[in-house]
Amino acid sequence: MILSVSRRTDIPNYYADWFLARIKEGYVYVRHPMNVHQISRIELSPEVVDCIVFWTKNPEPMLRKLDRLAGYRYYFQFTLTGYGSDIERYIPHKRKVMIPVFQELSKEIGKERVIWRYDPIFFTDKYNLEYHLKAFGQIARELEGYTEKCVVSFVDMYAKNRKGMNELKPYFPEEKEVLEFGEKLAVLAGNCGIRLASCAEKMDLSVCGIEHNCCIDKELIEKITGHRIRAKKDKNQRMECGCVESVDIGTYNTCRSGCVYCYANHSQKSVSQNSQLYNVNSPLLCGSISPDDKITERKIKSLKESQLTLWDL
């Protein structure tokens, strides 16, 4: 099993102690996002967890606690953009805090295991193409030698983020202009020894030097684990998504970063209400078991190839 921690909320930033407690206990409960009374019990032993993929804007709460993950293989998807507190309300200062945190994490676990994400990209009068190129270039220079790959994507509009995004009055450049912009990003990244890749984009960006990416990356996971992985494409993701199958243990409406473009929260009110339910010792993230809940043991197994194949010779 590949464990996703998490597309739905920033567990390393806000719930690191809860996650590490679940690792120690060896299991976690996950409430189905569409059927609230259906709960899965998921085993978290190193025997079945082949790799953990962390998604975060600030892993600092985990930095001094990575020793508790001994026996597990993992890597980080670290989002670091040029937006200010008007867009990412509760993320610490990028230059003063987050870039040093990125560098420290890279030193701790290796640059190949810290993927820089500069996403989602959108354009307004303030955050125009020129602004993004300047911000991206500045961050890339700071991260030279601390990461091997940067992932970019353009914002998608969902019901949950449409109101906030519309208030920013974004504009959408023509495809030619986007491709020129992408080519400039690729050059900036390449000048710093960083490969540029895209995330679930319908537009073919390979023509401007941006490779198609898998965020939950079979090839990288095989490199980290030293084993061939029998993983299929994740059928629960968008058609353009190249990620392989994983199990996500997050909960929607619990991320406290306050990002205007967020698709995982209905509102700050719902986040506040759910956050009050947080109990570091609960098997559920920001919740408790009710009499109507049904808990089912989810069948989990390792995806590692158990026998030698021609691929290994």
Provide the pairing of β-strand 51-56 with 74-79. Answer: parallel
Q: Return the axis-axis angle of helices 129-143 and 175-191, rounded to nearest 10°.
A: 20
CA distance 192 to 141: 6
CA distance 291 to 111: 46
Average pLDDT score over residue span 279-290: 96
CA distance 299 to 12: 25
Question: Comparing 101-110, 145-154, 239-248, 301-310, which segment has the lowest mean pLDDT?
Answer: 301-310
Say if residue 158's pLDDT is above 80.
no
pLDDT at 115: 98
40: its two tokens? 């899965």
pLDDT at 313: 46
| Neighbouring-strand partners of residue 3 | 52, 247
pLDDT at 157: 66
- The overall average pLDDT reported for the chain is 93
User: Residue 307 — very low, low, confident or very high, per pLDDT cuts 50/70/90?
Assistant: low
Say if residue 312's pLDDT is above 60.
no
Say if residue 45's pLDDT is above 90.
yes
Question: Comparing 111-120, 174-183, 290-299, 304-313, which segment has the lowest mean pLDDT?
Answer: 304-313
Q: Which of 149, 154, 220, 219 is nearest to 190 (CA)?
A: 149
CA distance 56 to 62: 11
The predicted model scores a pTM of: 0.94
The predicted-structure confidence for 184-238, as pLDDT tens digits, reads as follows 999 999 999 999 999 877 788 888 999 988 899 999 999 999 999 999 888 888 7
Residues 6+ apart with CB under 8 A from 38: 31, 32, 293, 294, 296
Residues 6+ apart with CB under 8 A from 235: 245
Beta sheet of 247-248, edge-to-edge order: 211-212, 195-198, 149-154, 114-121, 74-79, 51-56, 2-5, 247-248
Domain spans in the chain, listed from the N-terminal domain onward: 2-312
